[in-house]
Structure 1
Amino acid sequence: MEIQIKDQRYNPKIEKNHRQMITFSTALGILRQQLARNIGEERIKGFLVRFGWEMGVNDAKQALKSGSSLESLIKQGPIIHMNNRHIRGFTHECTVELDDEHNIVSLFGKGTWIDSYEAVEHIKRAGISDKQTCHTLIGYSSGFMSTICGQPVLAKEVKCIGKGDPECSWITRTKKDWESGMYEELHFYYETPIREELKYTYEQLLERQTFVTRLSDFQTKLTEEILNGSDLQTIVDMVYDMIQIPVMIEDMNFETITYAGLSEKSCLNLKADMDQYIQKEKHYLPFRKKTIKTANQERLITPIIVQKEVLGYCSFIYNDEKKHKPEEDYLLLDRFANAASLVLLNEKTRFESFERMKGNFLEQILGAQLPVKDIISRGKFAGLDLRKPYHIMVMKYRKTQLAELSVEEEFLLQEQILETAFRFFNRKKYPVLVGQREGNIILLMTKESNEKLMIPDIIKNFQNELKQKYPGVDFMTGISNQGDRIENASRHYEEASIALRLTMKKKIAEFHSLGIIGVLINSKNTSGIKMMAEEELGPLYNQKDPRSVELLKTLYIYLKNGGKLKQTMDDLKLSMSGLRHRIKRIEGLLEKDLRDSNEMNQLFLIIKSLVALGEIDFI
């Protein structure tokens, strides 16, 4: 069996340019569903609004050919809309205010659509929506009204059956009357066509690919410089050559380390401007990645982090009229900062290794493990002339809080303080060896002929910097007499240790200020001092009894204050009655009158000698 058909027909009654096509709302529902699946729900809204707009504009142009009045055209709009079968019915109210020349001053319309095909089809195929669904109807109303009114008139659906409301209702106003009420919907009328958007996206991808290649080359060059052992200045010069943006590296205090692409004068001006900015923004330190804008500069800045500590900052300086791309520059800046971190980590490791070697050398000096000739020779390699006069300092530190530190916390704090000491004396260019012994920081500093500051002033500045960096820690330092022969370093270390033990309110104590106590201790008459202490202090000289220790401390502070009860009460944080009770008890135990100046002086010298010997510790 075979079927063959040949047919040919033509209907001249069907219009060529403005023909009506019979289709069901179901077909439009299927089209809408497929569009949503392929281009997304958000983009379909713009597509359908503009589709409806063009239909409304087209019908309005046909209506305008009749020459009807504005009132008649406004009234016809919903009727034409219904005849297109988009809706089965409507309610409509509209008020228009005209000026003397019949120009529209204001327009307000409202109404409902009965059985919107869009709402019905959306529920049928996608269920209840969380937003209005009559996009074509909105576009149609806006296009029709804008065309007959000669200015933008926009409709907005306020309720919709498609999102579960009891009706589909809308409002129309002129664009200027909407103010901010149409902000979210406006972009749907002017949305970029998909073709243009794809073209733009393609251009963006090409641009991004170019930048990724540039970023990869940048990273490769940085890695090569690091592997070659280049210093910061070489890397900074290379970065500027590649990106043609002035760059700066500064330390934690915003002192310039190195720069490229700037004159020295410009660099100084930028630093002065930055100093003023820091004073205002000091509470935000240390900075995270950010853009800083002042009247004189704009810069991208990011921290240089080494071992979780901010050591400085990398900056790109925008000092021209070029249009920069900060989001791309930040990626370059991050890699630059990482490279700077690696260089600084390498320098930090070398520096600390050298300083720790010097610390071991100091331990050998104090332990008399080397001949004088070797000490002098090795001192030259460490940058010190150990033939010159010197002082030894012993620094003790303790947390001000009562909480005990764990072993790990104690070790970490000691390492941090030691590192701060390395950097302080290196920055100040003081000739010094830094080490640690028995939990204390040990310093040996030679005396330079051109040094203006005295040793106590230098130590005071050092302690101030430590206190600023570690506010929860107290620092006390003992300073030896001046040494002239390096082979006597161990004796001067003992002097500094003795002076340290006698620091109370004073944070710095010099051995020569101890007077007769220093002579007593240096005479090596330790056993004689202990025998005298046992005889004169009697039951108070019992370090195993906490009560005796507390009474001995009370006696020491009382004698140190010259018998002044008020000062002693404040120092010990006792009430006056409590202090009087203790003094009376001490006098009874010692069988001595503490108002006798001779008794007071003798007891004070004995206790102070015990403190200096390390037999008792009131610090």
Structure 2
Amino acid sequence: MIININDEAYNDEMVIDERPMATSSSALGIMRHQLVRNIGIERIKGFLVRFGWEMGVNDAKEALKKNISVKTLIEQGPIVHMKSGHIRGFTHECSAEFNEHDEVVSLHGSGTWIDSYEAVEHVKRLGLSDTQVCHTLIGYSSGFMTTICGQTVLAKEITCVGKGDPVCTWITRTKIEWDRMMEDELSYYQETPIMEELEYTYEQLLEQQSFLTQLTEFQKKLNEEIANGTDLESITSKVYDSTQIPILVEDKELRTITYAGLSEDMYRELDLDMKEYMRKSKSQNLLPIGKKTIKTDRQEKLISPIYVEKKVLGYCSFLYNDGKTHNEEKDYLILDRFANAVSLILLNEKTRFESFERMKGNFLEQILQAQIPAHEIIQRGKYANLDLDKPYYVVAMEYRKTEQSTLSMEEEFFLQEQILEVIFEYFNDHKYQNLIGQREGKLILFMIKQQKNFSIQTAIDELYQFLKRAFPHGEFKLGVSNEGHDIKDAAAYYEEASIALKLTLQKNIVSFDSLGIVGVLINSNNLKGIKMVAKKELGDLYQLDDPRNIELLKTLYVFLSNGGKLEQTMSDLVLSMSGLRHRIRRIEGLLEKDLRDPEEMHQLLLILKALIALGEISID
């Protein structure tokens, strides 16, 4: 289908200068939205106030042409607003004082705007604001009242629906009566030519482009330094040379790794100041997962976290201690890129360190299997900065889950890897000489006695407490060997640690030395003899394929370990006293022994410990 139209029209009655134009509040809302996008929300206030002012002045001039009294026009001001569609309703109270010439001397007005189009459109298109948004209505009221009163009258919005208040309220005063309360608002009424606005915007764009160029160049230099293998201290110094802002790199415990741009004395002073601030604040929210600024009387600290494998590994900070004003937004963009560079450096160091530790773990396996001659082991140890001529201990460790934290096979493997990494870091921080590996489902620590006053008990206790804090949803069990002196005997000491680990039933840490005669019995590898004694002394209870016997053996072991104390045994086994007494009587009947006889108790406990250590029975 084709249509052809040839038409024309002309309205002779339309006034050219003051023609009425139909528009909607949505159209003004769209204009507002576009202004925000192009010149920013901070700059549109002045534009809209002046826009409203001109409309108010124009409507007031038209009203004055009708020879309406000033008193009447003051009353009708809000009515003009409503007729224009700016608002749907209003309340208005006003007190005006006139002199003998009917000139306004004083004016105090207040009221509310109901359903301000500006508030509605702003919320609809831009969301709630932090401040009042009815800029056009404020400008209109000020322009209208100023024109009819013959002196400057200014309106101020007090509450606003656009920022979440229940209603829009306003106050009008003469400029003189406002005194200094409107000083900050006066700049919005001063007209800025469009060329100045454009020049300002252009300058802002040039400045932004220049900064982005600098940021890109900064990132490029960081990448080059990382690719060239530059260390963290050198890169930190170069960032300071580029920014001239003191910079600090800390680990996740807020211990300083490196810094630049500060003398040693100034660094110590600022460090003490920040630690005192952190101590007084006692807040867990001080450590950021994103951008954060901390201010004290002495300094301001702009902080960006360092992420490695999705975990916060430390923090990078700019330190402002010169009293000058800084552009934090731009500084943070630089700091964030530096933090990313530090992440790559630390990730590289972490990977290299863990690879080295795992290599040492393979070396430990070779030691325990006695695959290499002793003199070669000692020589290889020197390459890893380990003096294997010194005395040593072997520690076997397990992480046993609680019932609430049952894990899949994949989760179990991931947890073991986590524990291994944490132990790597712990020993690295404490400067221990050791080898760490995995064997037969256990973590194995080969710990070298570095000083004469070295205490294995203290070292293991501290490690245990650290691991409890790091992994609170389970428990660690550790078996510790006797002190070894010859590297070729490491396998035997591994066996000691493994035996001690099996006997961590009531204690979390057991040393082989504490096993006494049990250790000697087991170390003789006299398994056949132990079984014969066990069969003779335990009788029918030694039928280990019956789960009821295993339960009774567990009860017997706990009872004997507690020295025959019923209350402690009842607590450990979570049994009632009557239930426990019943089991003890049943055990005595099967064994045909008196469990109150100290000699019988001691012998039975030795047998059970030997069977547990040899893996013949398992009592968890």
- Using structure 1 for the length normalisation, give the TM-score: 0.80
Partners of 1:82 and 1:521 in 2: CA distance: 103
Letter in 2 for 1:373: H
In structure 1, distance between residues paired with 2:93 and 2:481: 101
Q: 1:427 aligns with which of 411, 426, 429?
A: 429
Give how far 1:462 is off.
Answer: 1.1
> In the TM superposition, what whole-angstrom CA distance separates every residue of 1:349-403 from its partner, at most 9, and x where no partner exists?
1111111111100000000111112111101111112122211111111123444
Change (3 A) 1:373 1:153: closer
Shift of the 508–199 alpha-carbon distance from structure 1 to 2, 3 Å rule, reads same
Q: Give the whole-Å Cα distance in 1 for the aligned partners of 2:135 and 2:252.
A: 56
Deviation of 1:424 (Å): 1.5
Other-structure match for 1:174: 173
- Looking at structure 1, the residues matched to 189 and 443 of structure 2 have their Cα atoms a distance apart, in angstroms, of 74
Give the drift of 1:527. 1.2
Give the Cα separation in 2 of the matches to 1:386 and 1:109.
89
Q: Which residue of 1 aligns with 2:144?
A: 141
Superposition deviation, residue 433 in structure 1: 0.9
Distance 1:321 1:433 in 2: 51
Alpha-carbon contact 1:152-1:174 (below 8 Å) kept:
yes
Give how far 1:321 is off: 2.2
Per-residue CA shift, 1:583-615, capped at 9, x if unaligned? Answer: 112112222221222221111111011122122
> What is the CA-CA distance between 1:428 and the residue it aligns to?
1.4
> Do the aligned partners of residues 40 and 479 (structure 1) sit closer, same or farther apart at CA in structure 2, a change above 3 Å counting?
closer
Contact 1:391–1:446 (8 Å) recurs in 2 = yes
**Matches of 2:77 and 2:519 in 1, distance apart?**
114
Alignment of 1:276-291 (within 5 A): 276-279=276-279, 280-284=281-285, 286-288=287-289, 289-291=291-293
Q: Structure 2 matches for 1:444-459, cutoff 5 A?
A: 444-448=446-450, 450-459=451-460
1:602 maps to amino acid: Q
Q: Confirm or deny: 8 A CA contact 2:49 2:139 kept in the other structure.
A: no
Q: Where does the alignment leave 5 or more consecutive residues of structure 1 unmatched?
A: 1-20, 113-117, 119-129, 159-169
Counterpart of 2:538 in structure 1 is 537
The equivalent of 1:258 in structure 2 is 258
Q: What secondary structure does 2:520 align onto?
A: helix
> Match of 2:38?
none
Cα RMSD over matched residues?
Answer: 4.2
Instruction: Tell me the distance in 2 between the aligned counterparts of 1:356 and 1:82.
Output: 83
Distance 2:480 2:327 in 1: 57
Q: Which residue of 1 aligns with 2:270?
A: 270
Question: Is this contact kept in 2: 1:138–1:155, CA < 8 A?
Answer: no
Query: 1:318: Cα distance to partner?
Result: 0.7
Structure 1 residues 232 and 38, CA gap change in structure 2 (3 angstroms): same
1:386 aligns with 2:388: yes
Structure 1 residue aligned with 2:410: 408
Q: 1:108-507 to 2 correspondence within 5 Å?
A: 108=109, 138=141, 141-145=144-148, 147-148=149-150, 150-154=151-155, 173-174=172-173, 189=189, 194-279=194-279, 280-284=281-285, 286-288=287-289, 289-448=291-450, 450-507=451-508
Q: Is 2:53 aligned against 1:50?
A: yes
- Tell me by how many angstroms 1:62 deviates: 9.7
User: Is the contact made by 1:479 and 1:511 (CA closer than 8 Å) also made in structure 2?
Assistant: yes
Mapped contact 1:93–1:111 kept (Cα < 8 A): no
Letter in 2 for 1:359: G
How far the C-alpha of 1:200 sits from its partner, in A, is 2.2
For residues 183 and 570 of structure 1, do their structure 2 counterparts lie closer, same or farther at Cα, with a shift above 3 Å needed? farther
- Call closer, same or farther: CA 1:405–1:322 in 2, change over 3 Å: same
- Distance across 1 between alignment mates of 2:255 and 2:410: 33
Amino acid aligned to 2:274: M
Relative to structure 1, the CA distance from residue 264 to residue 616 in structure 2 (aligned partners, 3 Å threshold; closer, same or farther) is farther
- 1:478 touches 1:496 (CA, 8 Å); kept in 2? yes
Deviations 1:219-248 (A, max 9, x none): 011000000000101110110011111111
Matching residue's letter, 1:546? P
Q: 1:406 to 1:36 in 2, by over 3 A?
A: closer
Letter in 2 for 1:338: N
Give the aligned partner of residue 8 of structure 1: none
C-alpha separation between the residues in 2 aligned to 1:82 and 1:397?
Answer: 79
1:74 match: 71
Aligned residues: 558
Q: Unpaired segments of 5 or more residues in structure 2?
A: 1-13, 36-43, 85-90, 118-132, 160-168
Q: Distance in 1 between matches of 2:577 and 2:20?
A: 100
User: 1: distance between equivalents of 2:435 and 2:311?
Assistant: 25
Alignment-mate amino acid for residue 357 of structure 1 = M
AA matched with 1:240: Y
Q: TM-score, normalization: structure 2?
A: 0.79
SS in 2 for 1:321: coil
User: What's the secondary structure of 1:383's corresponding residue?
Assistant: coil
Q: CA deviation at 1:195?
A: 3.8
Deviations 1:226-283 (A, max 9, x none): 0000010111011001111111111111111111001122222333233334443452
Cα offset, 1:22, TM superposition: 4.9
1:125 alignment partner in structure 2? none
CA displacement at 1:140 relative to structure 2: 5.1
Native 8 Å contact 1:99 1:105 kept in 2: no
1:457 to 1:188, Cα distance in 2 relative to 1, 3 A: same
- 1:155/1:365 CA distance change after superposition, 3 Å: closer
> 1:103: how far off?
8.0
CA distance in 2, matches of 1:437, 1:257: 34
User: 1:477 is paired with a residue of what secondary structure?
Assistant: strand
One-letter amino acid matched to 1:553: K
In 2, the alpha carbon distance for the partners of 1:92 and 1:311 equals: 61
Residue 516 (structure 2) aligns with: 515
Task: Kindly indicate whether residue 599 of structure 2 is the aligned counterpart of residue 586 of structure 1.
Answer: no
* Letter of the structure 2 residue corresponding to residue 594 of structure 1: L
